[in-house]
Amino acid sequence: MSKRVLVSGGAGFIGSHVTVELIEAGYDVVVADDFSNSDRTCYDGVRKITGREDIPLVEMDFCDLEATRKLFSDYAIDAVIHFAAFKAVGESVAEPVKYYSNNLTSFLNVIQAGRAAGCKNILFSSSATVYGEPDTVPVTEKTPRKPATSPYGNTKQMCEDILRDSVLAYKGLRGIALRYFNPIGAHPSALIGELPRGVPNNLVPFITQTAIGKRECLSIFGDDYPTPDGTCLRDYIDIVDLAKAHVYAVRRMLDGRMEEDYEIFNVGTGRPVSVLELVNAFEKVNNLKLNYKFAPRRPGDVTAIWADPTLANEKLGWKAERTVEQTLASAWAWEKHLAGK
């Protein structure tokens, strides 16, 4: 009998790609989402990609403890991957209470309801934001966490701590935190991808929306950083590669192969790419010219950060495989799919 995985926030950008990879790896998946930051587009895309019309979809808010309890009692869940959270850095600075209330409450409810229902495996969607502005790069899992530069980043740190302390306190509970770097791109089918509401918070949707004519001009924030071309350096990871890391992590938990009851893994490529390099690569691979300009630095942007993914490569057996060029071609195919072109 195949194991069942709950994907909270499973209709979102990362959640939908993870759902595809889990199903293709033979897991049963339950998707739950409140659609506050998504719609049914990606869920419908997942059904088309997998050929599965029967993927359970529960519309609910994980801040509602009773609804969360009901979900765990309605389905026998073997592992949960928790994505359901607000994620806009700028908004979190303007609305800290909204972010602390939603992101912490939802995760506490998942742990509480999961434990009560006998679900002992929790995978938390964390982020490289927990490292802040690191003293040295690349960062390893042992790199000290710096004070977060935003309430959003702070909720990631706090949820990691909640998971670590819960695993320590409650016998039999296992947890993995995956620290993502910069997920970009879309599924090669162009049936699912990033679907920002309003003005995108991430670079690649801004690039693709400018390319297709939705936005007049792309702003590159800061050209005076102490980097080779003056723009920030990041570790851009293909969304499908990132999604596959979750399958390896879930398998590690369910097969009883964890060496500690709480583990952390960086999920990145280990290759730094500058913002300007990414823009130029997009133009080249898709044979386009982008209208872009340099703008002042954004508060909270880190100069340079990229992963040392050795631990994930060795312990999870996972490795990033897709090239930046493949990823940017997929992102553009998805934008054209959305536009009906």
Look up 152 and say whether it is catalytic.
Answer: yes
pLDDT tens column, 96-153: 999 999 999 999 999 999 999 999 999 999 999 999 889 999 999 999 999 988 899 9
Give the pLDDT confidence score for residue 166 in this predicted structure.
98
Q: Is residue 273 part of a domain?
A: no
| Cα–Cα distance for residue pair 28/39, rounded to 1 Å | 22
pLDDT of residue 298: 86
pLDDT in tens, 47-58: 999 999 999 999
Please say whether the beta carbons of 139 and 131 come within 8 A.
yes
The pLDDT of residue 191: 97
Q: Which of 27, 43, 152, 180 is catalytic?
A: 152
Please give the single-letter amino acid code of residue 313. Answer: N
Is residue 214, in this structure, part of any structural domain at all? no
Q: Specify the pLDDT at position 148.
A: 87
At 298 the three-state DSSP class reads: coil
pLDDT at 135: 93
CATH of the domain at 164: 3.40.50.720
Give domain status of residue 98, yes or no. yes
* Distance from the first to the final alpha carbon of the chain: 42
Helix axes 65-74, 96-116, angle to 10 degrees: 40
Domain-located, residue 149: yes
The domain tally of the chain equals: 1
Classify 168 as helix, strand or coil: helix
What is the pLDDT at residue 335? Answer: 97
Note the pLDDT of residue 330. Answer: 98
Q: Is residue 193 part of a domain?
A: no
Torsion from C-alpha of 307, 313, 319, 320, nearest 10 degrees: 0
Evaluate whether residue 153 is within a structural domain: yes
Query: What does the pLDDT read at residue 311?
Result: 98
Task: Let me know if residue 306 belongs to a domain.
Answer: no
Task: List the chain residues with pLDDT less than 50.
Answer: none
Residue 45 forms part of a structural domain: yes
| CA atoms of 212 and 232, how far apart (whole Å) | 24
Segments forming the whole domain that contains residue 56: 4-185+237-268
pTM of the model: 0.97
| Ramachandran quadrant class, 32 (left: phi over 0; alpha: psi -120 to 50; beta: rest) | beta
